[in-house]
A and B are shown apart, each in its own frame.
Chain A
Amino acid sequence: MIINVFGSTISALVTAACLAETGNNVTLIGQIPNELAEPGLKKLLKQQMELETLQVSESHQVNADFHIFAYGDGDCSQALKITAKLAKEKHDNSCLIIRSNFSIHIVRDIIEAAQMPIIINPDFAPEGAAIEGFQRPDRTIIGATNGDAVAKFRRLLAPFNRFRDTFIQMTPESAILTKYATNVLIATRISLMNELALVAEQMNADIEEVRQGLGSDHRIGFSYLYSGVGFGGAYLERDLERVQTLIDESGSKENLLKSVYNINQQQKELLFRKLWTHYQCDLDKKKIAIWGVSYKPNTNSIDGAPSLVMIEALLHQGCELHIFDPKLDDIFQNWMQANLNSEQRARIHTHATMYDCLDQADALCVLTEWKNFWSPNFTTLREKMAAPVILDGRNLYDKIWLQENGFTYFGVGR
């Protein structure tokens, strides 16, 4: 089939590459960035472009079977502009797929303007495992009312639906709410676990053990039961806000999601608070090493990352920061330019290896669970650091062993 994919997001690139791989003629109306943190994506794109199943262009194919919107949610005006254009050129076969996670109002505007069959097909694949998420989805939500369009779309996705039938058809509104609700429920689980982690610390329980016990209950499951330094990423917080708005509009005055949000904000500062009390409320001139800036491993995305909150808090207390992250790039530099003054920027030093940033450090904060942080050489750590203090925001390390080996250890909920 002839496919147009609009957008430059990871979701757009993955959609374009995966559909090209199954033999479609795909045009990506967007850009491929030079740096791509998403595992396997660069290679797949390159392959498909060489095979000429995928082309990147500024203009779309007018006679396409599907126009797929995978814009970032900030690009809604661009989406509306293109929609109007597509509506003018439409033919009998035209169909618009919305994979972007736009607000409900924007989606309504697009549906109104498009004047062609529309399918809401939310992207549930997590960043860092986006290709796997596209090719082997645990479910494919199809929010549509037009039977012909749905049948054709099923044919397009058939190669990814062979193991078991993952299609779930519903109305567009239900599809939109399902996407929101998924993120909101995940956020709620994480915040609840973080609240329980505080309780665990208080009553000498270990939240890791509690997690094992909880997750084995088949009604609950293991996903998103980790306590940590709060969730980041652009999406969870954004959907919390969206659903909160919808709840407000419904007339409910309850504050469940506000609490979920507030708990998360507090949680992002958890390690700061532990460090603050450890050093008796005086961090002036302390050298702090930070491992991990991205909000999760295998991405360079720092949207809403706990590390940013941590960095700001430490800078305000006069600390000098030594940072390592395997994918640290311009995104972080831009964030510093936009959010920190020159005096603060001068106190941030980025390093090429994880051990370089430890020299004379008064503490090490581990904020992202990149694979290389899981089993560091603790002897080197102790030799390099001025004080062997580890704040483990992801509960990666064996608390007892570290304590027995002379480290001061702070985890989350243990």
Chain B
Amino acid sequence: MKQLKAYQPLSAQAEQLKQTHLNSLFADNAQRFAQFHVQMPGIMLDFSKQKITKEVLDGLVSMAEEADLKQWIERLISGDELNHTEGRKAWHTALRNVSNPVQEVAEQWDKMAFIVEELHLQQMRGYSGKAITDVVNIGVGGSDLGPLMITHALEMQKLPQSPAIHFVSTLDGRQLQSLLAKLNPETTLFIVASKSFTTIDTLSLAETAKSWMKANCQSNCQSQNAIMRHFIGVSANPAKMSEWGILPQMQLAFWDWVGGRFSMWSSIGLTIAIQHGMEGFKAMLEGAHAVDEHFRNAPFKENIPALLGLIGVWNTNFLNLAGQAILPYDSRLKHFAGYLEQLVMESNGKHTQRDGTFVDYRTCPILWGEVGPNAQHAFYQLLHQGTERVMSDFILFKEGQGSDERSTFHQNLNIANCLAQSRAMMVGQQSDDPHKHYPGDQVSNTLLLTRVDAYHLGMLVAIYEHKVFTESVIWNINPFDQWGVELGKKIALSILESIDQRDASELDQSTQGILQQIWEHKT
């Protein structure tokens, strides 16, 4: 990145802008909002509260051009093998190409549609012949976060014929156990979602679910076929699914070219389709597809994901901000920040360039977030008066939930709070009392969407995916692998072996010491 011609002039501008308060940028330019917002149908990005001038924007755009962003976008969408460290495409855009679907994707839609319809008609049967009433998604990471985030956000809009949907992900088994205590095995269906179908987190939970099923069903239903009526597999590894016992008609596929954190658009999104029908699921794909088209066709200065990416680079590498807060002002987006933690940090939390050399600049910031009105009573203190400079994304929806008097009041209160916080962070407040001094000058984006529905959530997620991609192009890193998570998995297996054998002698002192205390404890 530092080799790009645009880098030096931008650095110089940054030095100057670091000394300029956001307030004065507004004071000096009555057209600031007009100049620094862009939109496409359904969503508007206001980046006027960024420390950006026309010159900076020009510089960032030329940096994108120099880095060949346009070409990279083409390669992404046309399915080039961009994930070179794993020798794969990263072709999630094909999953939502509703205007010109890939045949293998459309085949899976048909298979999903069949399962969804049988569930909705209450014709999907468990071992006793009763219809399924509860669906439990067992998956972790990409096989959990996306569907969890979306189904939670759209819970109020679910189809009346949808069974209840639950999620478990953690390998400690606590979530699963507390859920099993409430569910009826006769009418419970598990979706085992794992790209490799070897992930120990998921498979260990699936085994627990299977033994719960076996322990509960009557003696005349003990056949493998009866038990496996309660399991749907979603994986890129059909052989492993079959080996585990998933019945052929209960297997849904996706492919190695779908990254886990980009997989909610695939059959991994089955729970979304169950909750909203294929129509709702396709609406989500359509929203994302509209963003794909926008990302591919809009000039960078009007391109929402590209601009978000370039602003991210500007803040990280030129203004040296290291924190990124995600602040949705709608409690239905409770799991959105968690979703982005994976999407953003697993994609760009890297220090190796595409050519294998280490970077000499910073890459992904630390991202966290919370539903805005709750976060106001938690970490906003740090945003207003802390010593860390943080960039924030405020996410707001024009429509609230309901149109009666109380709903309107709550929505107005919500809008007022969102706008008040981004403004307070920007302008700050002088005071003689140092405890009541607010420096302001904290930068933020505001994303304004029409409403919380499948289509707009599809748009929102796709925008962040492409933001991440834009940054990765400038940083010259591969956002589609995740080698960083492998080491811990490997060590966990060897420690598990040590625990099984009650022999920690090969391990380091700290690990030995902790294990010793656990072993000495008698319950």
Q: Please list the residues of chain A having a beta carbon within 8 angstroms of any beta carbon in chain B.
A: 266, 269, 272-277, 280-282, 312-313, 316-317
Contact = CB atoms under 8 A, between A and B. Distances in A.
B404 to A, nearest CB: 22
Main secondary structure on B side of the interface with A: loop
Contacts of B129: 269, 272-277, 281
A222 B455 CA distance: 59
Contacts of B179: none
Interface residues of B, number: 14
B226 A280 contact: yes
A281 B121 contact: no
Contacts of A269: 129-130
Contact of B123 (A273, A280, A316): A316
Given A273-B130, A276-B129, A316-B118, A281 B123 contact: no
B229 A281 contact: yes
B226 A281 contact: yes
Interface stretch (B217-225, B424-432, B445-453): B217-225
B128 interface: yes
Which 3 pairs between the two chains have the least Cβ-Cβ distance?
A: A273-B129, A276-B129, A316-B123
B223 A281 contact: yes
Contacts of A274: 129
Interface in B480-517: none
Main secondary structure on A side of the interface with B: helix
B250 to A, nearest CB: 12
Contacts of A312: 121, 123
Contacts, number: 40
Identify the interface centre among A272, A276, A317: most chain B CB within 10 Å of its CB. A276
B125 interface: yes
Given A277-B220, A280-B223, A281-B223, A266 B127 contact: no
A4 B447 CA distance: 70
Nearest to B249: A284
11 contacts: A272-B129, A275-B129, A276-B125, A276-B128, A277-B127, A277-B129, A280-B221, A312-B121, A313-B123, A316-B123, A317-B125
A280 B127 CA distance: 8
B128 A277 contact: yes
Contacts of A280: 221, 223, 225-226
Interface string B201-221: 000000000000000000011
Identify the interface centre among B121, B125, B229: most chain A CB within 10 Å of its CB. B125
B117 to A, nearest CB: 9
Contacts of B128: 273, 276-277
Nearest to B126: A281
Interface string B125-143: 1011110000000000000
B127 A281 contact: yes
A276 B127 CA distance: 8
Contacts of B229: 281
Contacts of B123: 312-313, 316-317
B125 A282 contact: no
A277 B221 contact: yes
Contacts of A266: 130
Identify the interface centre among A266, A280, A313: most chain B CB within 10 Å of its CB. A280
A372 to B, nearest CB: 29
A281 B125 contact: yes
A178 to B, nearest CB: 34
A262 to B, nearest CB: 12
Nearest to A266: B130
Contacts of B127: 277, 281
A282 B221 CA distance: 11
A316 B130 contact: no
A282 B121 CA distance: 18
Nearest to B224: A280
Contacts of B225: 280-282
Identify the interface centre among B128, B129, B229: most chain A CB within 10 Å of its CB. B129
Nearest to B227: A281
Nearest to A270: B129
A274 B221 CA distance: 11
A274 B130 CA distance: 10
A368 B301 CA distance: 73
A202 to B, nearest CB: 10
Nearest to B128: A273
Contacts of A272: 129
A274 B220 CA distance: 10
A276 to B, nearest CB: 4
A140 B363 CA distance: 87
A312 B130 CA distance: 14
A172 to B, nearest CB: 36
A273 B226 CA distance: 12
A150 B166 CA distance: 61
A275 B123 CA distance: 15
B195 to A, nearest CB: 28
B28 to A, nearest CB: 64
A348 to B, nearest CB: 16
B136 to A, nearest CB: 19
Given A273-B128, A276-B125, 4 more contacts: A266-B130, A273-B129, A277-B220, A281-B229
Contacts of A277: 127-129, 220-221, 226
A312 B118 CA distance: 11
A266 B133 CA distance: 13
Contacts of A275: 129
A23 B65 CA distance: 100
Nearest to A276: B129
A186 to B, nearest CB: 26
Contacts of A282: 225
A273 B128 CA distance: 6
A412 to B, nearest CB: 14
A313 B129 CA distance: 10
Interface in B94-130: 118, 121, 123, 125, 127-130
Contacts of B221: 277, 280-281
A315 to B, nearest CB: 9
A46 to B, nearest CB: 44
A313 B221 CA distance: 19
Contacts of A317: 123, 125
A89 B73 CA distance: 80
A212 to B, nearest CB: 28
A276 B123 CA distance: 12
Contacts of A281: 125, 127, 129, 221, 223, 225-226, 229
Nearest to A279: B225
Contacts of B223: 280-281
A197 to B, nearest CB: 16
Nearest to A318: B249
Contacts of B125: 276, 281, 313, 317
Contacts of B220: 277
B129 to A, nearest CB: 3
A146 B127 CA distance: 60
Nearest to A275: B129
A269 B123 CA distance: 11
A243 to B, nearest CB: 23
A282 B226 CA distance: 8
Contacts of A273: 128-130
Contacts of A313: 123, 125
A366 B17 CA distance: 85
B160 to A, nearest CB: 16
A365 B518 CA distance: 60
B374 to A, nearest CB: 33
B216 to A, nearest CB: 14
A94 B145 CA distance: 72
Interface string B223-258: 101100100000000000000000000000000000
